[in-house]
Amino acid sequence: MKLPRYGHTSQYLNGLLYAIGGFTHKDLPNEMPVTQSSCERYSVLDNSWSIVGNMNEPRAFATSIQLDNQYIYVFGGMHDFTVV
């Protein structure tokens, strides 16, 4: 990944793996969370990650679905300490 993350959601769509949102901080005591809006795509053929876009609202611990082999929808989760 270009940006190490945890608490992200993932989807496999049309031969590509997507990692969406998540946290990028080290999760140390008294450290404020850093919630990501970015989406990265992994290509097995190229063995490479690329950043493909951002969500309107940063989210971690969200859920996602893919629809019609064309769309990925992300909903729920947290932005920093706030549930969205």
At residue 29, the pLDDT reads: 87
Short-list 59, 65, 55, 49, CA closest to 79: 59
The pLDDT tens digits of the residues spanning 12-40 come to 999 999 999 999 988 788 888 899 999 99
Q: What is the pTM of this model?
A: 0.89
Is the pLDDT confidence value at 73 over 90? yes
Tell me the domain boundaries of the chain.
9-83
**Closest among 50, 82, 70, 58 to 8, alpha carbons compared:** 58
Give the CA-trace dihedral at 80, 33, 24, 29, to 10 degrees. Answer: -150
